Amino acid sequence: MIPRIALAWLAVLLAVPLATGRDEPKKDEPKKDEKPATAKEQYTALVKEFNAERQKLIPEINKAKGEEQQKLLDKYYGAGKEYAGKFLKLAEDNPKDPVATDALFWVLQNGGTESKKAEAKVVGLIADMKLADLRRSVTPLFTAPAAVVEAVAARVEKEEKDPLVPDVLGWLATTRSPSPKAAEIMKAATDRLVEKYPDNPAVGRICQTLARSRAPKDADLLKSIADKAKNPAVKAEAVYALGQQKSNVIDGLADKPAELEKVAAEADKLMAEAVDLFAQAKLTARKDTAQAELTAFRTIRVGKEAPEIKAEDLDGKEFKLSDYRGKVVMLDFWGHW
């Protein structure tokens, strides 16, 4: 016979697994003493997970070369498409939570095909958003659908006296959108910004986009900004862009030496002024960039003597560029990485 004590212990041991199996929560379920994650916590966790996934790709991108590197770069910039559905679901599950707006704008920026689904919802939100929230939400969007641009423009029209209007106008003026209607809105925003708020930092960004333009109207706009701006940083960008515009036409004046030298002198003066203005604004990086371009302009351009070059030709024979002075020389610089 089995002793009674042994039978009692056997009953306890058999009961333990059954009790454990009933009480243990599933992995996907929160423990009884834990609260479900809030919408904000879910959003933060998704952003953290997304950033971590992209961060893991950086060492691989730096090591890779050629097509393999390009594939990794495509994966890096396209990572948002894999997470867009999760962010969209978060917004749909929590329509009245403020984080839904953040999630929808995230999808609009990163979501690929899912962006179209977020677009309609975002347009519906813009009319009632606080201008501070609208500015924060649109700032990361370097490109935007026409419907979003139109909705933001309509929103700004209602807020003439709000101090944040210039910042939102700055976004309208510098964002990109393929629609002709959006292009008209962006042009109107630029004109309004320059006319009423010439010292807004966004005006400086506008100047940078106009630096390579050869359109007379863009040169006139830059002159207007340079005349109106009191902010040294904005004025510097306008003057610098004017100098760059002048320098860009030099190559086309090789057969007109008198005109070439006149334009070159104007470009030199403008870029030198920009260097001083960037220094006044304590924008060291921009000052250094402008100074480097000015130095190059003064030494390497059409109408200047080419710097000396010493190298070996394809037969291994050493040569100097000056050996060919007075002759037509075509230089072919190439490399392979």
The tokens describing 36, both together, are 């479900």
pLDDT given at position 336: 61
Q: What pLDDT does residue 4 have? A: 46
**Helices within 94-200 (DSSP H only):** 99-110, 115-126, 131-138, 146-157, 165-174, 180-196
Q: Is the distance from CB of 75 to CB of 67 less than 8 angstroms?
A: no
| Range list of H helices, the chain | 4-23, 39-63, 66-77, 79-93, 99-110, 115-126, 131-138, 146-157, 165-174, 180-196, 201-210, 216-228, 232-248, 257-280, 284-299
Q: Are 39 and 90 in contact (CB under 8 A)?
A: yes
Spatial separation of the C-alpha atoms in residues 244 and 293, rounded to whole Å: 9
88: left (phi over 0), alpha (psi -120 to 50) or beta: alpha
Question: 319 forms bridges with which residues in the sheet?
Answer: 311
R_g over Cα of the chain: 31
CA neighbor of 235 nearest in space, from 270, 189, 285, 284? 270
CA 92 to chain centre: 28
- Domain residue extents for the chain: 38-126, 129-196, 198-307
pLDDT (0 to 100) of residue 10? 35
- Residue whose tokens read 């000056």: 322
Q: In this predicted structure, what is the pLDDT of residue 327?
A: 86
Residue 7: per-residue pLDDT: 39
Q: Would you state the pLDDT for residue 135?
A: 94
Question: What pLDDT is stored for residue 335 in this prediction?
Answer: 67
pLDDT of residue 222: 95
Look at residue 30 in the predicted model and tell me its pLDDT.
Answer: 59
CB 175 within 8 A of CB 141: yes
Q: pLDDT tens, position by position, for the chain (337 residues)? A: 444 444 343 343 334 444 444 455 555 565 666 788 999 999 999 999 999 999 999 999 999 999 999 999 999 999 999 999 999 999 999 999 999 999 999 999 998 889 999 999 999 999 999 999 999 999 999 999 999 999 999 999 888 788 999 999 999 998 988 889 999 999 999 999 999 999 999 999 999 989 988 889 999 999 999 999 999 999 999 999 999 999 988 878 888 889 989 999 999 999 999 999 999 999 999 999 999 999 999 888 877 777 888 888 888 889 888 888 888 888 777 766 5
What is the enclosing helix (H) or strand (E) of 312? strand 310-312
Task: Note the pLDDT of residue 129.
Answer: 92
Could you tell me which residues come within 8 angstroms of residue 105 by beta carbon, excluding any fewer than 6 positions away? Answer: 118, 122, 137, 138, 140, 141
* Distance from C-alpha of 227 to C-alpha of 277, rounded to nearest angstrom: 14
- Distance, in Å, from the CA atom of 94 to the CA atom of 86, rounded to the nearest integer, reads 12
